[in-house]
Amino acid sequence: MNAATRRASLQLPYTHVDDFYINGSWVKAEGTQRNPVVDPAVGQEWGSVPEATASELDSAVGAARTALKSWSALTGAERTGYLLKIATEIESRSEALALTNTRENGSPISETRGAASNAAGIFRYFATLAPWLDGEDIRPFPADGAESIVDKDPIGVCALIAPWNFPINLVVIKLAPALLAGCTVIIKPASPTPLSIRFIIEAIEAAGVPAGVVNLLTGSGRFGDALVRHPGVDKVAFTGSTPVGKKIAAACGELLRPVTLELGGKSSAIILPDADMSVLSTRLIRSCMRNTGQTCYISTRIIAPSSRYAEVVQTVASTIAAGRQGDPYDEETVFGPVASASQYSTVMSYIDSAREEGARVVAGGTRSISLSEGLESGEFIQPTVFADVTPDMRISREEIFGPVISILKYDDTNGVSEAIALANNTEFGLGGLVFGADEEQALKVARQVDSGSVGINFFGSNHSAPFGGRHESGMGVEYGIEGLSAYLTYKSIHRTV
């Protein structure tokens, strides 16, 4: 089936919409300005959403503030009931959600089919934290005769701003702990991916969540800035690029407003001299080029020992070249398009700069042209691997957010200290990997990598473990009790006993 026929057969419930979710109802947009939604695999507009106005923002924030009083008065156990219902309702919408997500950003259907189950799992995990939230916390004074009661109160109305690469799960990792904590929210999805999040709102409605607790508005970056600065917002949680994150951090700093930022990355995979190449090959795409390289934590820099450099280059190049690229709706597709025309230009500029600076192409390196009928206008770049990359090259220093892997070399004659130094020679600190047969040695190396998360022979996010970046990769963490704490404010009540 060619791309046009496949898309004509889709029955997506949301295409051109003209409403927002405010105070428990779908409300027709006031303004006339609209933002297009483009399918990056075929380069065609297929949907659009309205741009929220200042008065609509006021309405959503006002609804959230009104709902905060009754929602925060519930116990964590009572709110847990809603979280569990939301999880079930999300799973019942998994197929339509996946089809919409894939059309928005070009993520392969094999990737987006897991979005609903993962989102449901996040809601169910945070539901398990209700006993901790509701539990009495009494702490004795150093001297006898007094004690402190520590209350955990919701921080208030939260602005949740999501990126386009994983538009469902990167909202839900904010939404689930915020709701459990007793907060109310306004969600702003990224401009390229504003439609798939509506299935989460459907699930919230079906679960009976009270009006005003969750609100959805769409808009451009300018609208996002207005949301961040709105006087009725108590906290901001943002996932996206480091430059935008810095602007949000500056605004929140001026306002003394709590903020959680999960930003860019330039993570490294250190290959130890004893690494098993079959393990590297098996885990490479998921850990180093997931979602066509459009994943914040992936290790797009491979740091290989000089004694096995040629072997590592061959393994990486052959593994990436063997991954099928094509229509993201094809069940066999591993690599889809990049998410937009602007992203295509950005990634190609990095590929051009790498050639100019002396890096050697060992896989890909050009626009993909031999794809199936109907994809000729899509934003496809061949998954690309560069060897002979040096630390000073742009592709080694800057986040590309596309299907490009760089392979650097370290001298392993006297151990792996040079590899660790190369891994830490970056402004970022989000993810990382260590591949090695001796897992104790790999653990020692992992502990020296200056990053918020590091995997040993694989990388994955654990709902119960904090995830966040260091340096220019962000502030604060998500997931785990630590992620729930980001939506709480603490009060100590001192009394004599």
222 Cβ contact list (under 8 Å, min separation 6): none
CA distances from 302 to 181, 266, 289, 445, 470 (A): 40, 11, 11, 15, 20
> How big is the chain, counted in residues?
497
Catalogue the active-site residues: 262, 296
Cα separation values, 149 from 84, 133, 466, 492, Å? 29, 14, 26, 6
- Distance, in Å, from the CA atom of 267 to the CA atom of 296, rounded to the nearest integer, reads 9
What is the C-alpha to C-alpha distance for residues 389 and 358, in angstroms, rounded to an integer? 8
Check if the beta carbon of residue 197 is closer than 8 Å to that of residue 214. no
Q: Which residue type is seen at 450?
A: D
Q: Residue 143, Cβ neighbours under 10 Å: how many?
A: 6
Distance between CA 233 and CA 117 in Å, rounded?
Answer: 30
The three-point CA angle 15-375-42 to 5° equals: 25
Name the burial class of residue 124, with classes exposed (0-12), middle (13-18) and buried (19+) by CB atoms within 10 angstroms of its CB: middle
State the burial class of residue 72 (Cβ atoms within 10 Å of its Cβ: 0-12, 13-18, 19+): middle
According to DSSP, the β-strands at 433-435 and 360-363 are unpaired
Token duo for residue 254: 């001026």
**Residue appearing with tokens 């609100």:** 215
Pairing outcome for strands 34-39 and 44-50: antiparallel
Q: For the purposes of burial, counting CB atoms within 10 Å of the CB of 93, is it exposed (0-12), middle (13-18) or buried (19 or more)?
A: buried
Whether 268 and 422 have beta carbons less than 8 Å apart is answered as yes
> Angle of helix 115-127 relative to helix 169-181, nearest 10 degrees?
20
User: Hey, what are 457's tokens?
Assistant: 């022979």
DSSP H or E run through 206: helix 198-206
Does an H or E element contain 15, and which? none
Q: Other C-beta atoms within 10 Å of 130: how many?
A: 19
CA distance 194 to 237: 17
Rg (CA), the chain: 23
